[in-house]
Structure 1
Amino acid sequence: METLPLVLLHAFPLDGRMWDGVRAVLDPITPDLRGRGREPDLGTFADDVLRDLDRRGLERVVVGGCSMGGYVAMALLRRAPDRVAGLVLADTRCTADDDAARAGRLAMADRVLAQGVGWLPDGLAPGLVGPSPAAGVVERVAELVLAQPAAEVAWAQRAMAARPDSRDVLAAVDVPALVLVGSEDALTPPAVARDLADVLRAEYVELPGVGHLTPVEAPEAFAAAVLDWRTRVGR
């Protein structure tokens, strides 16, 4: 059986290059998500993804996302659930931010606009990777973070702060789903991922020894888990 195209949506504050380590195995479509001055709303990213699928002539795809990319996948489900034939959600959650998390995002957005992105790698790296990352992982994450425009980083934070709870949307999904998480993910820990898998009635995979950016920190294990799942579910 020929598998459907796979769209992978990147985490914050990175871009589509975060998926470079899984390209050879998964051959994904990896758009760069950009607000471009529009009203901060993750639905805007979802609309952009749908327009890209239309340009490519793709009616149904498997949609995956890591962290913020997972939120965008959920926004896409709100827009066009019929376009989604399967879900791969990594290191993400289905709940909205609480007041403290929302305030933290808005404060970061303001600081980035005032000071630029130079401080972000040191501020974010401890939460993005596990305690013992492989050689080069921290440097690669920093390289990707520093390449992001400050206005886009602020836009994404404001859009994530405004996102709704998606539990009801995911509970209504009736397609094969896979939830992955790093065992050392401090931002969306395994307990959060297991709850997400329960809501989706999804398969659950925990990748040992890695943190929040599983496709960057453990690309071989991530790609193998996704490929195995796709083979078994025929997507």
Structure 2
Amino acid sequence: MQLYSRSAGTGLPVVLLHAFPLSSAMWLAQREGLSSLCRVITPDLRGFGGSRLGDDEPSVDLMADDVARLLDAEGIDRAVIGGLSMGGYVTMAFCRRHPDRVQGVLLADTKAGPDPQPARDNRERIAQAVLSQGAEVLLTDVLPALIGPTTKERRAMVLGRVKGLVQSAPPGAVAWAQRAMAARPDSFETLAGLKVPLLVVVGEEDELATPADAEAMARAVPDGRLEIIPKAGHLSAVEQPEAFNAAVAEWLRTELGGAAPPRG
């Protein structure tokens, strides 16, 4: 499976994995804002955007292996791997399966614990509904929690953009991804074993992956860093891109030497 990907910039490779049920289009401001510092690589995870879904059983491990194959195709040995929400789950799976290829880890608006049973049941409900009825269930049951109240009140263009991305998600990919996320394991042990810098970012108003979830992940690593983005909900990189980019840029400069070339 070869993922479709957009890239910008040169130097240290930084892979950013998108949230559910969006695509790499959500990282536009990061490709523009961080490309002077590093090489920003934003793939579409399987089934979303320009990437095919394939016939494999749902699995975040498989999604992580897709990313490893993308690095192979790009000639990249090691990279900073980061993701928001679902992209964070795939990032942690990548750390578990390909630890020698990780130069740094960015986890945004995600959590390391597995889904409790009610959350797994809800994912299956949405998977079945989207397959039988289309994207309407995403607009009623998923979209409202993706963005914070400040964005809803003050940033109509951001809300409209996110709604458009949600509406364009293919039903088959939505169902597959929900089932992959429902089956994901606990990742706290993976985080505790990290030997590279970790940055955890969370929107102050995120109710899906809360600041408390973010604090727990940052604490799991000896030198984990936590950045809370004010007036942002679950899609902190989309809602407050300047603050998000500033936090990531500062971390890259101080922990990873900015635009250093990839080692390999």
TM-score where L is the length of structure 1: 0.96
1:171 aligns with 2:179: no
**Which stretches in structure 2 are left out of the alignment for 5+ residues?**
1-9, 47-52, 258-264
**Secondary structure of residue in 1 paired with 2:43:** coil
| Cα-to-partner distance string for 1:41-99 (whole Å, 9 max, x where unaligned) | 01111111100100110000001100000000011111110100001100000000011
Aligned partners of 2:100, 2:251: CA distance in 1, in Å?
A: 21
Equivalent residues in 2 for 1:1-235, closer than 5 Å: 4-27=12-35, 28-34=40-46, 35-133=53-151, 134-201=155-222, 202-235=224-257
SS in 2 for 1:151: helix
For residues 158 and 55 of structure 2, the distance between their equivalents in structure 1, rounded to whole angstroms, comes to 31
Cα distance in 2 for partners of 1:157, 1:110 equals 10
Aligned-partner SS, 1:23: helix
**1:4 to partner: Cα distance:** 1.8
Q: CA deviation at 1:3?
A: 5.0
Conserved in 1, the CA contact under 8 Å of 2:204 and 2:211? Answer: yes
* Matched position secondary structure for 2:161: helix
Cα distance between partner residues in 1 of 2:32 and 2:160: 22
Q: Distance in 1 between matches of 2:54 and 2:200?
A: 30
Contact 2:115–2:182 under 8 Å retained in 1: yes
Number of residue pairs aligned between Structure 1 and Structure 2 = 234
Q: Is the 8 A contact 1:40 1:156 kept in 2?
A: yes
**What displacement does 1:121 show?**
2.1
Structure 2 CA distance for aligned equivalents of residues 67 and 112 of structure 1: 20
**Greater Cα offset, 14-23 or 28-37:** 28-37
What letter matches 1:49 in structure 2? V
State percent identity of aligned pairs. 50
Structure 1 position 124, deviation (Å)? 1.8
Over 6 Å off, 4+ runs: none
The amino acid that maps onto 1:173 is L
Q: How far apart, CA to CA, are the structure 2 residues paired with 1:229 and 1:48?
A: 26
Query: In 1, Cα distance between the equivalents of 2:215 and 2:11?
Result: 26
CA distance in 1, matches of 2:239, 2:44: 20
**Paired residue type of 1:216:** V
1:135 Cα offset (Å): 2.9
Higher deviation after alignment, 27-36 or 117-126: 117-126
Superposition RMSD in Å: 1.2
The residue type equivalent to 1:83 in the other structure is: R
CA contact (8 A) 1:91 1:214 kept: yes
